[in-house]
Structures are given as C-alpha cells and as structure tokens.
Amino acid sequence: MSKIAFVFPGQGSQFVGMGAELAKDSAKAGEVFAQADAALGFSLSSLCWEGPEEELRLTANTQPAILTMSVAVREALREKQPGFEPAFVAGHSLGEYSALVAAGAMSFADAVTTVRLRGQFMEEAVPAGQGAMAAVLGMDREALHAVCEAVSSQGHPVQLANLNSPGQIVISGSAEGVQLASEQAKQNGAKRVMPLNVSGPFHSSLMAPAADKLARVLDGISIKDAGIPVVANVTAKPVSKASQIKESLIRQVASPVLWEDCVTYMLGEGVTTFVEIGPGKVLAGLIKKIAPKEVQIFAVQDMNGLTELLDGGVLC
C-alpha cells in the first residue's frame, strides 16, 4: 500500500492575504487564527490577511504566521476528511513545529508562542549586518562543505545550512565567511551563488545563543510523544519520543536542515505521495527535484487546493 507524507513549509513562504479566504470557508481554520490571536495577545490574523508586508516579513512575526496558516490548512483538511492521518510528517526548519502540532506532540497554543520567541531569539543572536546566508546552485555538497571548512579555519565561520535538493544548498555564517565561501564556490564550479535577504545567519553555529534561550522555553511547555513519526531536520530520521523531539528542536536552530535527506528517507520508507500543507509551493518544488517522476506531489494552501487533493482520491 502506498504511503502519504504531510510536509510543512518554513520561513520565506509567507504572503499578505494568506488564510483570509480559508478562514471564511472553514470554521476550523478560522478557529486556529482566533487561537493564535488569543495566545499572542495581538491580531496575527490581521497581519496575515492585511499586512503590511514589511511587518509580516519580520522573523518574530513570520514564524508564528506561517505556523498558524499551516495548522489552519491542516484543520480545514481534517474537517473535510476526518480520521485520515499520514504515515509521516516533516517540516522545513520552522515547519517542523507545524509537523509536531499535526502529530499531536505539541499543542498549537504552545507552538505559536514558542516560535514567536524562537524568531526573536534568532534575530537577537547576531547583530544586524554581521551574519549572512547565500544559496549555492550546482555544486556537490562534499565539495561545498570542504570550501566552508577551509574558510572557517581562517577564522570566518561559515557552514552548510539548508541542504534543500540536489544542486541547491544554502550556506550561512559570518558576513565575511559567506562572502569568501561564495567566491571560492564559484571558483570551484558552482553555477550560481545568490545572497539571501535574511535577518541573520540561520542554522549556523552563530545561532548557539538562540538555541540556549529556546531550550529554556521548551523546558516550560508540554511536549508529548508524537502520534505520527516526525522526520527530524537534524538527523533525517523519524522521532517520536518527547525527549528526542525536544533535543532535535534545540539542535535544529544551529544545525543544518537536511531536507533532501528527509525526503529521501521517506521515499525509502515507501512514501509515494507528498502533500505540502501551508503557504506557498516551495517544498513541492524541492521534492520534484528529489523524487522520481511517478511520485505524486500536492500543495494545499486554500480551498481550491483542498478540493483538488480530495477529488483526486488520494486520502482514502
């Protein structure tokens, strides 16, 4: 029997207007936005639906906004197709929290307040302008890792941060480290290097202070064993025990996101359908570069996407 995985997007997938139509059409989705507003003490729903975009783009706002949108889509799907659960869930960076809510390991209220703080901690970890990230296209991961190691050994920390798909890797670290590694990557055969417009060097060792602060927050919330295996970013292996989940969330802040490896693991376990749940289609695009052509891939962010998924008879 074929298996289905639900995957949840991370930062960068947000857009003004996300969830507005969904919240009108699905009572359960509307409840999720209301819960977020109550938990955070301000109208996150208005920020998602009306902007302004520059406010929505702030990491401390983006993270709870994407989580809320993703959980709202999941609840709308649950409303339409009660009782269906996937074989695996996974999320890209921030998306791992959406996956944990979907797996019953964390309450939505705890998750939304935690990722708001996570965003703040990540913004505070490195002073503005001192860190950077860049996407490197068309370079082997071992070769790029060697470049980053060589630059880091010269006192300019930089490392692989997001291993997204074959030929698409994001590097992260000090501004000088990323610049030097970008130049060397091009000299060593990278097809293209694109600096990213981000507020910090996410998923690098420079995020250690944020990981320490997050650990204290996670100490204060209830994390349960997951009802569905959650394929963790830091190991590309499933975690189910509460202690494993907490450890992986702390490590994740300053460790690479092994997204290509997560997808490869699920394919190896017999997953033949991936459903991206939440704003945008970033993960669907990455999975197309990793998975064989016969694998089905859906992206659901509104009622149209939900109808297309259900009419396809996939969730039976």
Secondary structure element (H or E) that encloses residue 194, with its range: strand 192-195
- Number of separate domains in the chain: 2
The pTM for the full model equals 0.96
pLDDT band of 1, cuts 50, 70, 90 = low
pLDDT tens for each residue of 40-80: 999 999 999 999 999 999 999 999 999 999 999 999 999 99
Task: Report the alpha-carbon distance of residue 58 to residue 149 in Å, rounded.
Answer: 31
Instruction: Quote the pLDDT of residue 316.
Output: 63
In terms of residue numbers, what domain contains 40? 3-125+206-311
Instruction: Quote the pLDDT of residue 6.
Output: 98
- Pair 35, 65 in one domain: yes
Sheet holding 158-165, edge to edge: 158-165, 168-174, 131-137, 192-195
Average predicted confidence (pLDDT) for the chain: 96
Catalytically active residues, by annotation: 93, 203
Distant-in-sequence contacts of 179-182, Cβ < 8 A, 24+ apart: 179/132, 180/151, 180/154, 180/156, 181/134, 181/144, 181/147, 181/148, 181/151, 182/134, 182/136
Task: Report the alpha-carbon distance of residue 200 to residue 179 in Å, rounded.
Answer: 14
pLDDT band of 197, cuts 50, 70, 90 = confident
User: Is residue 144, in this structure, part of any structural domain at all?
Assistant: yes
- Pair 160, 215 in one domain: no
Q: What is the DSSP string of 260-282?
A: HHHHHHHHHTTEEEEEEESSSSH
Those residues whose C-beta lies under 8 Å from the C-beta of residue 307, and which sit 6 or more positions away, are none
Task: Report the alpha-carbon distance of residue 159 to residue 168 in Å, rounded.
Answer: 14
pLDDT tens for each residue of 214-230: 999 999 999 999 999 99
- Pair 140, 244 in one domain: no
Q: Give rounded-to-5 percent helix, strand, coil for the chain.
A: 50, 15, 35
User: Is residue 7, in this structure, part of any structural domain at all?
Assistant: yes
